[in-house]
């Protein structure tokens, strides 16, 4: 008698399984995407993706001309000035956080490393994807490393380092994905994993386990490589402009551009970790484990204090540079006023805010300072690559981005945010899985 209610249930389950088996893997993934809730955020993402698709089609059928305001005098616009210059600088949290935690002994920042590495990996990945739109013949991007080596070019070094560092970041980040894939268990009903996919996952498990062990074993050398490569290409993004003393405004042109770019990237990376952590705390609080929540304030205060020191040093270096180049008189021009806005509003002010936050132990000061610093990095990179570049040209020959150009950058940022949301929702980024808990 007690078996009786089970019968129809089992029958239904069998039917369900049969239905699932009929569903193709492709349709399974389509169902996964189309069944996402229609929240305002998701709908906005969809609209921006539609723009992205449109721009992609136009770029590769009608040419760069059809979507951008780039011209012969202004070969680099926001795709370089924002997507590349800011993307790389804001992804600097990866090497700063991982080296603080693994090399400099700040073990309490451990919970900040995974989100930082994830952001860095996504940042660099989409820097490269944005470049596919900007360079004329993206299918030739491997040429500098395979066909013809232009070793006198700073861009050669940037390309080499960004290429290697993207691979390093992928390896550093891969345990997040591997732990997720290994932890997937079969469930029933709507959320059931497609049997074929599940079979593949089960087959993969032992291999992933082994690879993950190797990757964790390589943590220290990978972190050191991350610092070397980052020093080289973060600074080289500044060195790119060393070749144009006649085109870049004297207040921004300096023989120390590579130093400025490297030092400011450290502040940018740390501030981005704080800034992004603030947003994540609002939206993804439920995805954070106790360790992450317990360490969060300490991380913000510690990183913020570091930022305040870095920004103070950066401020001093910029002032000394004006002195060394005898650029004081330029400060009393329009460009000089804008330079002061950048240096005071986006360097000195956040520096003080960070210092106050450290003294009063108030994370809210730190969060505002982080937002200002992130904005400041964007202002600085825009100034060097666009605002102060070609400053001697008449205004008709100057550059202003087109609507679709801006939309492509918005699309790239949306891609990063979407990927981050996916990773935060599914993968052990803001928490540790019990079976993979690290012993440190």
Partner 1 sequence: MKRRAFLSLLTGSAAAAALPVKAKAAGGEFSGHPDNMAVLTDLTKCIGCRKCETACSKVNDLPAPVKGEDRSVFAEQRRTHADIYTVVNQYNADGKSVYRKMQCMHCQEPACATACFVKAFTKNPDGSVTYDPTLCVGCRYCMVSCPFNIPAYRYDSALNPVVRKCTMCHPRLQEGKLPGCVEACPTGALVFGKRSEILAIARKRIADNPGKYVDHIYGEHEMGGTAWLTISGVDFSKVGMREDLGTKAAAEYTTGVLGALPMVVGFWPIVLGGAYFMNKRKDEIAKEEQEAAVAAAVDQERQRGEAAAKKALDKAASDAKKAQDKAVEAAKKEAREALLAEQAAAAAAEKEGE
Binding residues for partner 1, rule: CB under 8 A, are 59-65, 68, 70-73, 75-76, 99, 102-105, 135-138, 140-141, 143-144, 147-157, 159-160, 164, 220-221, 223-225, 227-228, 231-232, 235-236, 239-240, 242-247, 255, 258
List, in order, residues 6 or more apart from 433 with CB less than 8 Å away.
Answer: 179, 183
Q: Which is nearer to partner 1, 227 or 352 (CB)?
A: 227
If the CB atoms of residues 263 and 351 are measured against partner 1, the closer one turns out to be 263
Minimum CB distance to partner 1 smaller for 30 or for 53: 53
Residue 405 dihedral angles phi and psi, to the nearest 5°: -60, -45
In angstroms, what is the minimal distance from the CB of 414 to partner 1? 24
Give SS3 for 226: helix
Long-range contacts of the stretch 145-153 (C-beta < 8 A, 24+): none
Q: Is 199 left (phi over 0), alpha (psi -120 to 50) or beta?
A: alpha
Smallest distance from partner 1 to CB 290, Å: 24
Q: How far apart are CA 359 and CA 217, in angstroms?
A: 38
- Considering the complex, state which of residue 28 and residue 156 has its C-beta at the smaller distance from partner 1: 156
Question: Within 10 Å of residue 152's Cβ, how many Cβ atoms?
Answer: 6
In the complex, least distance from residue 353 CB atom to partner 1, rounded to whole angstroms: 28
User: Please, is 303 exposed, middle or buried when counting C-beta atoms within 10 Å of its C-beta (0-12, 13-18, 19+)?
Assistant: buried
Structure tokens at 233: 């290409």
The distance of closest approach from Cβ of residue 303 to partner 1 in the complex, given in angstroms and rounded to an integer, is 17
Min separation Cβ 413 and partner 1, Å: 22
Count of residues for the chain? 440
* CA–CA separation, 367 and 41 (whole Å): 23
Least gap, CB of 75 to partner 1 (angstroms)? 4
Between residues 216 and 244, which has the closer beta carbon with respect to partner 1?
244
**Cβ nearer to partner 1, comparing 3 with 152:** 152
């Amino acid at each position: 008698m007690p078996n009786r209610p089970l019968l129809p249930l089992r029958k239904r389950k069998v039917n369900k399984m049969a239905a699932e088996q009929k569903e193709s893997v492709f349709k399974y993934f389509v169902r996964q995407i189309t069944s996402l809730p229609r929240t305002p955020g998701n709908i906005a993402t969809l609209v921006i993706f539609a723009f992205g698709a449109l721009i992609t089609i136009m770029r590769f059928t009608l040419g760069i001309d059809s979507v951008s305001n780039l011209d012969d005098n202004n070969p680099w616009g926001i795709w370089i000035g924002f997507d590349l210059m800011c993307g790389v600088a804001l992804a600097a949290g990866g090497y700063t956080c991982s080296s603080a935690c693994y090399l400099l002994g700040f073990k309490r920042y451990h919970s900040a490393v995974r989100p930082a590495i994830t952001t860095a990996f996504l940042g660099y990945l989409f820097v490269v994807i944005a470049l596919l739109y900007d360079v004329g013949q993206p299918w030739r991007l491997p040429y500098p490393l395979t066909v013809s080596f232009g070793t006198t070019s700073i861009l050669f070094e940037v390309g080499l380092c960004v290429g290697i560092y993207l691979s390093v970041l992928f390896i550093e980040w891969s345990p997040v994905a591997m732990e997720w894939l290994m932890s997937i268990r079969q469930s029933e009903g709507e959320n059931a994993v497609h049997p074929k996919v599940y079979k593949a996952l089960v087959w993969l498990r032992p291999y992933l386990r082994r690879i993950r062990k190797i990757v964790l074993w390589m943590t220290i050398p990978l972190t050191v490589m991350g610092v070397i490569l980052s020093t080289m290409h973060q600074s080289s993004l500044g060195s790119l402009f060393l070749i144009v003393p006649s085109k870049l405004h004297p207040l921004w042109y300096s023989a120390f551009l590579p130093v400025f770019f490297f030092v400011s990237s450290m502040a940018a990376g740390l501030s981005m970790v704080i800034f992004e952590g603030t947003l994540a705390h609002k939206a993804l609080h439920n995805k954070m484990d106790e360790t992450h929540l317990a360490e969060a304030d300490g991380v913000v205060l510690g990183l913020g204090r570091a930022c305040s020191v870095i920004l103070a040093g950066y401020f001093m270096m910029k002032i000394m540079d004006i002195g060394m180049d005898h650029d004081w008189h330029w400060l009393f021009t329009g460009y000089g006023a804008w330079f002061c806005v950048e240096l005071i509003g986006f360097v000195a002010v956040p520096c003080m805010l960070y210092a106050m936050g450290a003294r009063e132990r108030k994370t809210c000061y730190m969060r505002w300072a982080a937002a200002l610093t992130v904005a400041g990095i964007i202002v600085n990179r825009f100034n060097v690559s666009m605002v102060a570049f070609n400053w001697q040209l008449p205004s008709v020959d100057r550059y202003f981005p087109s609507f679709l150009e801006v939309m492509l950058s918005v699309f790239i940022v949306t891609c990063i945010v979407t990927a981050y949301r996916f990773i935060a929702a599914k993968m052990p980024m803001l928490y540790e899985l019990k079976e993979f808990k690290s012993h440190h």
